[in-house]
Each structure stands twice: as C-alpha cells, then as structure tokens.
Amino acid sequence: MVDAETEVPRKTDLPTRKIGGSVVRIKNLALVIGTRPQILKSVPIIHAASRSKRIRLSVIHTGQHYDYEMSRVFFSEFNLPKPSFNLRVGPGTHVKQIADIMCRLERHLHEMRPDWVLVPGDTNSALAAGLAASKLGFAVAHIEAGARSYDMSMPEEVNRRLLDHLSGLLFAPTATCAKNLVLEGIPRSRTIRSGDTMFDLFQKYRHKMLSSDIVERQGLANSRYVFVTVHRQSNIETRKALADIARAILDVKEVMFVMPVHPHTRARMEEFGIYRKLSSANNIKLTGPLGYFETIRLITSARLVMTDSGGLQKEAFWAGTPCVTLRDTTEWTETIECGANTLTGVDGNRMVAAIRRSLSCQPRIGWKSSLFGNGQAARKIIATLEKR
C-alpha cells in the first residue's frame, strides 16, 4: 500500500477517451473504506468500475481495521488491486478515529479533486469521508443508504443518518430503506433503489463459497451446529453483556457452537475471564478470524446463526439459515417481518429460548432474497455515476 504522504495525480491529469464519436473526460471517483464489511460491500463496485470506460476509481483505505487478518486478507481473496493510499489511522475512540481520518484524507481529496466520493456502509470511516468531502465541496454518494434501526445509542445509526443527509446521491439497497429516506424529507431525486452490493457478492461467489472445506476441517460435516459472532461495542465492552452471551451458549449443550473471535472481542473475553470458560467447553469451537468464503460456507451449513452483526443477518437470510440477533433493534427489518430473524438482545432467557426454538424448527425456509435486489446493484451504481 502507498503511504499517506505519497503524491497523487491531479484531476486535470486525467485522460479523455473517445466514446461513440465524442471525446469524454474520464470521471474520477474516490472510494473510501476502512473495515471488513466495507471491503465486502465494495468488491462488486471495484469490479464494475474496472469495466467502465468512463470511470477511474481510486481506493483509499483508512486503516480503521488495522489487523491484517481483519482487513487485507479480503484483497487477496477477491484478487483486488491494493488500495492507492492507506491513511493508517489505527485504533482509537470514535472521535479520534473520525478526526484523524478527516485530517489525513483532506490533502488527498484536495489533490485528487474527485467527481464523487463513494462511502459504503455506516462505519467511522464512512462518516469521516462523507464529512471531509462535504466540507471540501466534493459530491458524496452513499452506498447502503436509508438503513435504520432507530436506536441512536448505536454509533452506526448516528453515522448513517448524518451521511444520508449530506450525500448528493443515496443508493438504497431495499424498498424499506428508500421509504425511510422519503420519510426523513430527502428529495426522491437523490435516491436510487439500487439493491444491495453484498447480495451481488453473495450471488456471484456462492459456488466458490460452497467449495470451501472449512466444515470438514472443523470436524462439523455430520454435526448440527450454531455459527456465532460477537463484536458490537455494546456487547463486548461490559462484563455483564459478554458474560450473559457466554452463559446462554454454555447452557445449550445439545448442539455445537462455532465462534470466530474478533481480536478485540478476545481481548475483552480474556480480561473478563470468559475466554477460558468457552475454550474449555466440549461443544464450543473457537477460531481466529475467517475469510469470506469460509464464513459463508459455515453460515450455509449451520442450523442457526447467532450474531450482533448487520451483515451476517443478511447473509444468513440469503443462505436460508435462521438467525438470532443479539440486539434489541435491527436495520434489516425485512428479515424480521418474514420470520427469518429473531431479536433477543442479550437477555439470557430470551437467547436460550430463541436458540432452542430455532433448532427445533424445520431449517431452510424459502425467504425472498429479491428484497435486496437482483445481484446487479454495483452495475446500476456505476451506470448512475457515469451519467451524473
């Protein structure tokens, strides 16, 4: 990756191209990412942009997820070019991360003078990029706009609301998301119902995902198991919440649990004396962070997904695997309304009851994946940006 101090080409240096008898200036797009979910949302965008004759896309990585296994491994999995720049912000509080990204990004945006700054998702990197671009007078396009949990205690909810109201183009993944934007007074002319780029990814690579041998390597080929992820700040930063989740898992002894552990989650587990209890249980397999294909294979073969992740709720839905969400709200209400997802918070009794109820139900319910588009969201986004 290129260091944050490396010179970048100016907008005036961009070439033109003759298309259909006309000379067209190639549009300059800056895509800002910083976390694993943002990389996944962006893979189809990067691929679609690479096929466009009218667009040059530069990828800027903020370094919000600074651990190699938590971020850069995805570039290898999807054969993506390395980001043009890495801002290397690293860990820190929400305020510090956002401030550092804005300050380090400013010079690059000044030099690049992009036609559009693309910000996927609802992370600190997304908000910082949107704010910096807006303050500098560059147009912002928000990918995955309109998602709402209506829980303002979630940092992600604050981020996405602010982003939606400062963006010039809003790419809504579902009809519900588009409706949310209208209800908040955002002009319809700024909203495009594009579909979900993560669904693009799921559709395109599903065959490759299913070829992963992670289930066999983990000795799960003939087992009923629950796939578990926990990483949300509200669930791991307090001893009680993390202990309640662990207790619910330990109480359900009739099924295997497979749990990839985020480095920050593991640090909190070890601090609170929880990691040793889980690792010593006979029906729990703890692993390090997994790649995308391994994760989807485990989700697809599981009887149940148990998570506090927004992305995994959707992936479980697309795979036809029931989900128990360890939150009191979700931005993906479509999954609740069709019975694919259950909210439990971190209440021990509710978690155990939901796990057992889901395990006793017939798996592989046929949910409508078309709620999230037709697998062509990235193509629609790039075509829109070409015209705008």
Which residues are part of the catalytic machinery? Answer: 231
The DSSP code for 80 is P
Per-residue exposure over 50-73, b if at least 16 CB sit within 10 Å of its own CB, e if not:
eebebbbbbbbbbbbbbeeebbbb
Neighbours of 77 (CB within 10 A): 17
What gap in Å lies between CA 224 and CA 103, rounded to an integer?
A: 49
128 neighbors 158 (Cβ within 8 angstroms): no
What gap in Å lies between CA 286 and CA 295, rounded to an integer?
A: 13
Q: Of 302, 325, 301, 303, which Cα lies nearest the Cα of 312?
A: 325
Neighbours of 94 (CB within 10 A): 13
- Name 229's bridge partners: 307
What gap in Å lies between CA 328 and CA 347, rounded to an integer?
A: 10
Element housing 152 (H / E): none
258 neighbors 182 (Cβ within 8 angstroms): no
Query: Which residues touch 157 (CB under 8 Å, ≥6 apart)?
Result: 122, 148, 149, 150, 151, 331
Note every long-range contact of 91-98, with CB atoms under 8 Å and residues 24 or more positions apart, other chains counting. 91/66, 94/124, 94/155, 97/64, 97/124, 97/125, 97/128, 98/124, 98/127, 98/128, 98/131
What gap in Å lies between CA 220 and CA 32, rounded to an integer?
A: 38
Residue 139's identity, in one-letter code, is A
Element housing 347 (H / E): none
Dihedral sign computed on CA atoms, order 132, 134, 139, 141: positive
